[in-house]
Amino acid sequence: MTKPKVLISDKMDPNATRIFQERGCDVDVITGETPEELIARIGQYDGLAIRSSTKVTKAVLDAATNLKVVGRAGIGVDNVDIPAASAQGVVVMNTPFGNSITTAEHAIALMFALARQLPEANAQTQAGLWPKNGFMGVEVTGKTLGLIGAGNIGSIVASRALGLKMKVVAFDPFLTPERAVEMGVEKVDLDGLLSRADFITLHTPLTDQTRNILSAENLAKTKKGVRIVNCARGGLIDEAALKAGLDSGHIAGAALDVFQTEPAKDSPLFGTPGFICTPHLGASTTEAQVNVALQVAEQMADFLVNGGVTNALNMPSLSAEEAPKLKPYMALAEKLGSLVGQLTRDSVPRISIHTEGAATELNGKPITAAVLAGFMRVQSATVNMVNAPFLAKDRGLEVREVKTEREGDYHTLIRVSVKTEAGERSVAGTLFNNVEPRLVEMFGIKVEAELTGHMMYIVNEDAPGFIGRIGTLLGESGINIGTFNLGRRNAGGEAVLLLSVDSPVSAEVLEKAQRLPGVKTVKALSF
Ligand SMILES: NC(=O)C1=CN([C@@H]2O[C@H](COP(=O)(O)OP(=O)(O)OC[C@H]3O[C@@H](n4cnc5c(N)ncnc54)[C@H](O)[C@@H]3O)[C@@H](O)[C@H]2O)C=CC1
Ligand SMILES: O=C(O)C(=O)COP(=O)(O)O
C-alpha cells in the first residue's frame, strides 16, 4: 500500500511531523506559500494540516483531487470552506480543546493589560519618562465580566474570573440554566450584558449570527467606561465603531488579538488611546502548540491509515476501536445502498435503513452514511460517506433509521428500503463470519449472493430451461460466469437470478437476454 501523503502548510510544532511519520504517512512541511502555489501543489496530497493562515477555499479544494482530510491544529475553521469540502467528500477536523486554556489565559492577560494599561506604561517607562502619575488603573475584583459565548474557552475564562472575585454574566443562547449554575455565572440576554458589564470578553465562533455582534448600535448600549477584549474572531466587532467609542471616551479600553482582516498590518485603531493588540497570539504557547500538533497529526493519521474519525465537523465520529468492527458493516451497507441505487429508476423521496441483531450495537451514523454513499453513487461518482448525507438533505431525501435489537433469521442484518412510485422495495444483507458482506434478500425473495465486481440481475418467470438459455447466451458472447445465485418467490412464480461475471456485460448482450422467453427485467450491475 502506498503511504498517505500529508502537507503541513502552516507553522506547526515539529511533533506533528514526527507523529505523521511514526503512523505511516509521508510529510512535507511547506509554509508561507501563496494561494496559487498551494493550488499548484495540493493535487498530490491525501491530507492537509493547517492553522489559521492557510485559506482552504473552494479553488484550493477543486485542485485537491486526492485530498481526503483537512486537519486544523486549533479550533476556528472559518478559514476552511466547509460546505465545499463536504460537497467534495473531504473530511474537516479540528482539535477543539488543545489550545482553549491558553486562549482563555490570553483573554485574562489582555483584561489585566487593559485594567492597568501595561503596554503603554511599559513603553513610556522604557523611554525614560517614569510616568508614575499617568497611569491610574482599575481593580478587577468586584467588577462584572460579560461573557459573550460560554463554550470551552468562555467557561475557562469564567472560572478564572470567578477566582479573581469578579461577577460573571454570560450571554449564550445555547447555555442551559443548569450549566450556568454549574459554571457559577448568571445567564443574561445580550442587552442585559451590555448594560451591566465593566469588562466584555468574546468567545463565540464567527457565524452569520455572531458577525458584528458588537455593532455600533450594541456598543452604544454598553456602560460608559467599558473595557472590551476579543480573542475570538475579528468579524465579531465593528472596528470603526470601536474606534469611535474609544475616541469619544465612552469605551475606556479595547484589546484585540484578532482583526477583521489578518494579517492586520495597518488599522485605524493603531495608536488610539486605550487600544492594545496582539497579532493573533491567543493559541501561541508551547503547551498549546504541542497539544494541537500532536492531536491533529494523530487524528489525521488515524483517519488516513485506519479510517478512524475524531472531531470531524462534517462527518460522524468513528473511534479507532470501532473502525475495524464497523468496516465490514460499512462495506455491506454501501453495497446494499448501491444495489438499490442501481435498480431504482423512479425518484425516491424516502430511504430507510433498518438494522437488526448485532448491527444495532454499533454506531449507526457511519452505516447510514455508507448506505447513502452507495445509493447516490449512481447519480454522481464523487459521492462518498462525507458528502452523501449532505447531498441527501440537499435533494430532499428523507432518511429513516430503525433498530430492532432482537435477532431475526440472521445474527446481524441491514435492510435498506426505498419508497418508490411502485411502492416500498427492500434488500437485506448480513455478514458471514462477521466479515463477509452477503446479500440475503431482494425485493421479498430470498437470494444469497456476494455483491462484487460485474454482475447481471435478471427477473424471469420460473420455468424449466431458462438457466440453460442464459448460460448459452453468455457463453456465446464470451462472458464467463463466476457465481450463480438464484431465488424465487414460489415454484413457477417470479424468480431472481444474480450472476457474477468476469467482464462487463454489453448493451447488446443485455438486449438479447431481455428477449429470452419469460424474462421480465435484465440489468447490468457493478460493485
Ligand atoms: N485567538 C486565538 O488564537 C484563538 C481563538 N479561538 C476562537 O475562540 C472561539 C471560541 O472557541 P471555543 O470556546 O473553543 O468554542 P465553543 O464552540 O466551545 O464555544 C463557542 C460558544 O459560542 C456560543 N455561541 C454560538 N453562537 C452564539 C451567539 N449567536 N451568541 C452567543 N453565543 C453563541 C456557543 O453556544 C458556544 O457555547 C472560536 O471562534 C475560536 O476560533 C480559539 C482558539 C484560539
Ligand atoms: O484555534 C483557533 O481558533 C485559533 O484562532 C488559533 O489560531 P492559530 O492556530 O494560532 O493561527
Protein residue closest via CA to atom 7 of ligand 1: 232
User: Among 3.30.1330.90, 3.30.470.20, 3.40.605.10, 3.40.50.300, what is the CATH number of 315-443?
Assistant: 3.30.1330.90
Q: Looking at residues 305-326, what average pLDDT do you find?
A: 85
Cell readout for 371 is 448506505
Catalytic annotation, pick one of 72, 196, 280, 415: 280
pLDDT in tens, 117-144: 999 999 999 999 999 999 999 999 999 9
pLDDT in tens, 188-210: 999 999 999 999 999 999 988 89
CA distances from 231 to 12, 39, 118, 525 (A): 20, 30, 18, 55
Q: Looking at residues 432-452, what average pLDDT do you find?
A: 94
How far apart are the CA of 206 and the centre of ligand 1, in A?
Answer: 8
Residue 230 one-letter amino acid: N
- Lowest mean pLDDT across 298-302, 420-424, 484-488: 420-424
At residue 244, the pLDDT reads 98
At residue 159, the pLDDT reads 98
At residue 333 the predicted structure's pLDDT band, cuts being 50, 70 and 90, is: very high
Residues 6+ apart with CB under 8 A from 233: 76, 78, 204, 205, 206, 210, 258
If residue 514 lies in a helix (H) or strand (E), which one and from where to where?
helix 507-514
At residue 404, the pLDDT reads 93
At residue 408 the predicted structure's pLDDT band, cuts being 50, 70 and 90, is: confident
At residue 454, the pLDDT reads 94
CA distance 389 to 4: 25
Residues of the chain with CATH 3.40.50.720: 5-98+287-306, 118-273
411 or 489, greater pLDDT:
411
At residue 429, the pLDDT reads 98
Protein residue closest via CA to atom 5 of ligand 2: 76
On whether the CB atoms of residues 230 and 211 are closer than 8 A, the answer is: no
Protein residue closest via CA to atom 10 of ligand 2: 283
Interface ipTM = 0.99
User: Which CB contacts under 8 angstroms, 24+ apart, belong to 27-35?
Assistant: 33/9, 35/59, 35/60
Fold of the domain spanning 5-98+287-306 = Rossmann fold (3.40.50)
At residue 88, the pLDDT reads 87
On whether the CB atoms of residues 457 and 522 are closer than 8 A, the answer is: yes
Q: Which of 97, 518, 450 is nearest to 288 (CA)?
A: 97
State the CATH architecture for 118-273: 3-Layer(aba) Sandwich (3.40)
Q: Looking at residues 499-505, what average pLDDT do you find?
A: 93
At residue 100, the pLDDT reads 97
pLDDT higher than threshold 80 for residue 401: yes
pLDDT in tens, 138-182: 999 999 999 999 999 999 999 999 999 999 999 998 888 999 999
Catalytic annotation, pick one of 33, 120, 186, 262: 262
Residue 435 one-letter amino acid: V
Residues of the chain with CATH 3.30.70.260: 453-526
pLDDT in tens, 337-373: 999 999 987 788 999 999 999 999 999 999 999 999 9
At residue 1, the pLDDT reads 73
pLDDT higher than threshold 80 for residue 381: no
Query: 3-state DSSP call for residue 255?
Result: strand
pLDDT in tens, 15-27: 999 999 999 999 9
At residue 379, the pLDDT reads 79
Catalytic annotation, pick one of 23, 106, 160, 233: 233
CA distance 350 to 372: 11
Q: Looking at residues 244-257, what average pLDDT do you find?
A: 98
pLDDT higher than threshold 90 for residue 489: no
pLDDT, averaged across the chain = 94
Task: Name the superfamily (CATH) of residues 453-526.
Answer: ACT domain (3.30.70.260)
Question: Which is the closest atom of ligand 1 to the Cα of 174?
Answer: 35
CA distance 365 to 32: 38
At residue 151, the pLDDT reads 94
CA distance 496 to 460: 7
Beta-strand ranges (E) seen in 5-100 are 5-8, 26-29, 47-50, 69-72, 91-94
Residues of the chain with CATH 3.30.1330.90: 315-443
Per DSSP, the residues of 90-135 read -EEEE-SSTTHHHHHHHHHHHHHHHHTTHHHHHHHHHTT---TTS-
At residue 452 the predicted structure's pLDDT band, cuts being 50, 70 and 90, is: very high
How far apart are the CA of 469 and the centre of ligand 1, in A?
Answer: 68
At residue 315 the predicted structure's pLDDT band, cuts being 50, 70 and 90, is: confident
CA distance 68 to 524: 30
At residue 322, the pLDDT reads 83
Q: Looking at residues 302-312, what average pLDDT do you find?
A: 91
At residue 103, the pLDDT reads 98
Percent helix, percent strand, percent coil in the chain, to nearest 5:
35, 25, 40
At residue 384, the pLDDT reads 87
Q: What percent of the chain has pLDDT over 70?
A: 100
List ligand 1's pocket residues with C-beta within 6 A. 74-76, 96, 99-100, 103, 148-154, 171-174, 203-205, 207, 209-210, 231-233, 257-258, 280, 282-283
On whether the CB atoms of residues 147 and 168 are closer than 8 A, the answer is: yes
